Structure 1
Amino acid sequence: MSEEFEIRNKVAESGLINFDLTSLVPKGVRKGIDLKDFLYMEMILKEKDFREKVAAINPEDYQDAYVYIYNSADAIVPLWAYFLITAKITDVTKKIVFGDKEDLEVILMHNAIQSYDFDDMRGKRVLVKGCSDKEIPENAYIELVEQLQPIVKSLMFGEACSNVSILKN
């Protein structure tokens, strides 16, 4: 083999920043609390019974977890019911939201994107990784573009070998 033959990584030399949105996904356990389990016959909220069931919650079961509170029953539940459950576990959880697991993930990614320092991408060419082994809410990509558009030189989506140009400043 000739000394003139050199393997070069043109992607690395291009100054392109590869950004993987999965790096922002908060690590931790996700747990759901279904209000139907607190209802009489899974349909009716009886305040005394409800309060007893909330009192029986072991907050340690939710230690450092991301919690979503939802209601899978076809029952109308007053807002104070959510207050009671939240007050019971809020001191030990990382985050509590109303909604399903997808709602929780949207909020977690929103918070992660809003708090991330994108300054090292200012004036740079950025490629947002397209394939991932983790599910990312679509809204996260929208919020990412909102954050990057005013500061990057160019923004692409996909992989280094196959990408879609999104914008050039």
Structure 2
Amino acid sequence: MSEEFEIRNKVAESGLINFDLTDLVPKGARKGIDLKDFLFMEMILKEKDFREKVSAIDIEEYRDAYVYIYNSADAIVPLWAYFLITAKLTGITKKIVFGNREDLEVILMHNAVDTYDFDPMIGKRVLVKGCSDKEIPENAYIELVEKLQPIVKSLMFGEACSNVPILKN
């Protein structure tokens, strides 16, 4: 084949780094614990009953999972109740947070972006992938820009064939 008709990948030759934020999503099961299930009539916290229900938790169900503790009941729950459940599962789970599933994902992605080694991107042109089959919290993109802005040559968002320039240094 002559050089005139050679197929070249200009994106690969450009030195552009394609970065997919979904690569940072921690793998593992997500499990929720609703405190209403631990309350008397799903409304009242009775300490003795609560402690019995916490002690009956099957910790294997939460092994190596990411756990979020929430309260869907219209009941006031003292902070020590969260302490008891957390103490029961600490060392079994990968992470425990207060809030809903979305809150858990925001915290997980914050930790992932915060601890990622961005050194290979210093002085480079970076394209952050725009489309994904996984849902990424918007805050992760904000934190990513904060990390990349001071170190990259340029930052774009989208796909190689159709991207939005974000910044040039």
The TM-score bracket by the shorter chain reads over 0.9
Across the two proteins, how many residue pairs are aligned to each other? 169
Give runs of aligned pairs for residues 10-49 of structure 1, distance below 5 A.
10-49=10-49
Aligned residue number for residue 85 of structure 1: 85
Structure 1's 72 and 128: CA in aligned 2 closer, same or farther, altered over 3 A? same
Unpaired stretches in structure 1, ≥5 consecutive residues: none
Q: CA deviation at 1:4?
A: 2.9
Aligned residue number for residue 56 of structure 1: 56
Give the TM-score, by structure 2 length. Answer: 0.98
Give the TM-score, by structure 1 length. Answer: 0.98
DSSP-derived class of the 1:80 partner: helix
Superposed structure 1 runs of 4+ greater than 4 Å apart:
none
Alpha-carbon distance between aligned partners in 2 of 1:20 and 1:122, rounded to the nearest angstrom? 17
DSSP-derived class of the 2:84 partner: helix
Give runs of aligned pairs for residues 1-169 of structure 1, distance below 5 A.
2=2, 4-169=4-169
Alpha-carbon distance between aligned partners in 2 of 1:29 and 1:38, rounded to the nearest angstrom? 22
Percent identical: 88
Q: CA deviation at 1:60?
A: 1.1
Unpaired stretches in structure 2, ≥5 consecutive residues: none
**Cα RMSD between the aligned structures?**
0.8
Once the two structures are superposed, residues 75-96 of structure 1 have per-residue CA deviations (whole angstroms, 9 ceiling, x without a partner) of: 0000000000000011110000
DSSP-derived class of the 1:76 partner: coil
Q: CA deviation at 1:2?
A: 4.4
Q: CA deviation at 1:58?
A: 1.2
Alpha-carbon distance between aligned partners in 2 of 1:3 and 1:154, rounded to the nearest angstrom? 31
